A and B are shown apart, each in its own frame.
Chain A
Amino acid sequence: MSKLKIEALTLIFGKEKEEALSLLKQGKSKAEILKKTGCTVAVKNANFEIEQGEFFVIMGLSGSGKSSLLRCLNRLIEPTSGKVILNQVDITSLQDQQLQQVRRKEMAMVFQKFGLLPHRSVLENVAFGLELQGVAEQERLEKAQSVINLVGLHGYEQQHTASLSGGMQQRVGLARALANDPEILLMDEAFSALDPLIRTQMQDELIDLQQKMHKTIVFITHDLDEAIRLGDRIAIMKDGEVIQIGTPEDILTSPATAYVSSFVEKVDRKSIVTAASLMFEKPTVAIYKKDGVEGSLRKMRSSGLTSLPAVSADKHFLGFVYLKDILELKAQGHKTIEKAILRDLPVAYPESTVEQMLPFIAENGRAVPVVDKDSNKLLGIVAQTSLLIETTGACWQNVNGNMMDNLQKEIV
């Protein structure tokens, strides 16, 4: 079961919500509804599920409805229709007191503008959520202290929040949310107000923290780079609609609409695109012992390649064989290719990024073998040209189809 499920969630701002809602059901556009009823459709029929422990990013430009959608999750804004189901309980049907309990125990929020209390110290700010729950002073200060140590605020406990830098203030915001030990962390453009360097640092720290905590995180951002860095999955919103949901790699390699691809073009793909999405599965291989000198030559001739990856009968990667070496062996009268196999070559894994594979090209000019980490079985190869296309920033769509077909022949 999913941790958090959003069902047909719609949010309309304005007076004639009912009428706007029925127009929306008839399939009228946002602009038409605004013209007829004066109502703004902020979120339109959002449907998605978030798994336990997942880092889910909602990305969109300002006005896309992403922050409003987030606020519907803990009902800081009441959704007009639809359901928000947390652990099988529909949050939209809860009474005030039950909702307070959900906000206290299950969902905590981090804000773009921090929302800290200027009349309290860092320690008291962090303990604030526990204070609202009525936790005894000593216990809540102890808990707050442990979270403060966790987020790197040690030594700042007694400072007033206004005297801290933006990055430090957001650490307080994060610590305040974590002190409640919530199941779900809602983060509304949490790092958008920070300087680029501090932002990157905070992103890294959040990733580290998440590896320890395994919280379910819903993170809002307008920055696709940030979304890709942080998210296990990303939902892209435009004009109140979720237009694509997928892993960062899904979004980069198969953008659903032109709007998404216009974003994707600007993203630095080197650190995101992995060997798994670039590799040719089932490449032509020389199978050691089964394919002798003659067999290997035949495969090279039919595929037009001058080198082949060599694998054992159970597909373990052994190395590469080159045409000239095999011809040499043939001249010497050898039957097996054993002596021609170039061994101990660097290999990539399915999750290796383009960035990590780049040095391979510089080193030897061969295709990059991709093997399974545990079994060392050859899964496929990544052609040099693929790597070069990724690094020069060209999009797959721009690459000529024939070229794709010829890639393998060209460089192996």
Chain B
Amino acid sequence: MRIGYYIEKLINWLSFQGEGFFDAVRVVVEAVVNSVEWLLLLPPFYVLILLIAFLAWKRSGWGLTILTLTGLSLIWGMGYWTQTMATLALILSSAFIALLIGIPLGIWAAKNAFAGKLIRPVLDLMQTLPAFVYLIPAVLFFGLGKVPGAFATVIFSMPPAVRLTTLGLKQVPRDIVEATRSFGATSKQLLFKVELPLALPTILAGVNQTMMMALSMVVISAMIAAGGLGEVVLKGITQLKIGTGFEGGIAVVILAVILDRITQSFGLKKEIKV
């Protein structure tokens, strides 16, 4: 069986036929990532550190605030501030795109049994297929740089957003849905006034997971020249510079912990309220 041959044919055909489409996507995504990066680098580093620390204090408390202050200062001290911001921009943009597609897909899968059956195996595939495999078509479609990096990141990080949205909606108690229908709610009213608010904690857990998955793609997307902290780690590996590799790794971990705690706090806050 020459499956590989046909897939290659298909990808080539796609990249040729869809050139205009891929170019458009490329321009838009590049603009998004670049403007986020530009925004992050606009204020002096200490202002941004204080801003993030303030957010951490608001959402969580003193522990995370101190962690944020020392962690981000350490990154700056190691001299990886611009790379970290490039990575953060890529993650935030990719996660944003993943949620933009993933949450509606999750809603569709929850509402429509057929869609649910269709989407599930695709999600399984997206999560289990080694990321390197779709890096190649990503490069074919979008060339090297941030955009194919974002593309690979979106594919890898979208499944939790879809799955947890579906789960959250299916967990809304049936008696509440029935009561809402009995008062003459339209499907739209049911979704926006009842189901989504009640599913919100679970959906926010999905947002958190999407962020974390996106972060785990940092090094892999650096292999197609997406830049950022992944490049630092990659340099450490390829040039056997153990110190550089570790420095990049530590920066990624710091970023991960801060992002995780802050996004988690949104979900937790909601849950207590309910």
Whether A111 pairs with B183 at a CB distance below 8 angstroms is no
State the CA gap A160–B272 with chains docked (Å): 12
Q: Given the complex of chains A and B, what is the CA–CA distance between A273 and B176 in angstroms?
A: 40
Please give, as numbers and ranges, the residues of chain B lying within 8 Å of A105 by CB-CB distance: 184
Say if the beta carbon of B47 comes within 8 Å of chain A: no
Known: A119-B273, A162-B274. A102 touches B184 (CB 8 A): yes
Known: A119-B273, A132-B189, A162-B274. Contact between A111 and B178, CB under 8 A? yes
Residues of chain A with a CB closer than 8 A to B267's CB = none
- In contact, A116 and B176 (Cβ under 8 angstroms): yes
List residues of chain A with CB within 8 A of the CB of B176. 115-117
| Residues in A149-192 with C-beta less than 8 Å from chain B | 160, 162, 176, 180, 186
Report whether B179 and A109 are in contact in the complex, using a CB–CB cutoff of 8 Å: yes
- Whether B198 is near chain A, meaning CB under 8 Å from some CB there, is yes
Cβ-neighbour of B175 out of A111, A129, A162 (below 8 A): A111
Whether B182 sits at the interface, judged by CB under 8 Å, is yes
Q: Nearest B residue to A180 by beta-carbon distance?
A: B183
CB of A133 within 8 A of CB of B184, answer: yes
Q: Interface residue count for A (Cβ, 8 Å)?
A: 30
Q: How far is A133 from B179 in the complex, measured between Cα atoms in Å?
A: 15
- The distance in angstroms between the C-alpha atoms of A109 and B181, with both chains bound, is 10
Chain B CB within 8 A of A146 CB: no
Of the candidates A76, A113, A115, A133, the one having the most CB atoms from chain B within 10 angstroms of its own CB is A115
A101 within 8 A of partner (CB): yes
- The distance from the CB of B127 to the nearest CB of chain A, in whole angstroms, is 31
A385 to B173, CA, bound (A): 55
Please give, as numbers and ranges, the residues of chain A lying within 8 Å of B186 by CB-CB distance. 100
| A13 smallest CB distance to B (angstroms) | 16
A114 partner residues in chain B, CB cutoff 8 A: 175, 179
A176 and B185 alpha carbons, distance in the complex (Å): 14
Contacts of B273 in A (CB 8 A): 119, 160
Is A74 on the interface with B (CB-CB < 8 A)? yes
- Is residue B261 contacting chain A, with contact meaning CB distance below 8 A? no
Q: Quick check: is A108 within 8 A (CB to CB) of the other chain?
A: yes
B194 at the interface (CB under 8 A from A): yes
When the two chains form the complex, which single residue of B173, B178, B183 contacts A129, counting CB atoms closer than 8 Å?
B183
Shortest distance from the beta carbon of B192 to any chain A beta carbon, whole Å = 11
Residues in chain A near residue B145, CB distance under 8 A: none
CB A86 to nearest CB in B, in angstroms, measures 14
A103 to B173, CA, bound (A): 20
Q: Which residues of A contact B173 (CB under 8 A)?
A: 113, 115
Enumerate chain A residues within 8 angstroms of B236, measured Cβ to Cβ: none
Most central of B179, B182, B183 by chain A CB within 10 Å: B183
Contact A103–B184 (Cβ < 8 Å): yes
Of the residues B175, B183, B198, contact of A103 by C-beta under 8 Å? B183
Q: Does A346 reach chain B (CB closer than 8 Å)?
A: no
Residue ID in chain A nearest B187 by CB atoms = A96
Q: Which of B179, B184, B194 contacts A104 (CB 8 A)?
A: B184
* Docked CA distance A100–B190 (Å): 12
Kindly list 18 other residue pairs between chains A and B, CB separation below 8 angstroms, not including A108-B182, A162-B274: A74-B182, A101-B184, A102-B184, A105-B184, A107-B182, A109-B179, A111-B178, A115-B173, A115-B178, A116-B179, A118-B198, A118-B274, A119-B197, A119-B200, A119-B274, A128-B180, A128-B183, A128-B193
Which chain B residues have a beta carbon within 8 Å of chain A's beta carbons?
173, 175-176, 178-186, 189, 193-194, 197-198, 200, 273-274
- The 9 tightest CB contacts between A and B, nearest first, are A115-B179, A103-B184, A104-B184, A100-B184, A109-B182, A113-B175, A129-B183, A115-B175, A119-B197
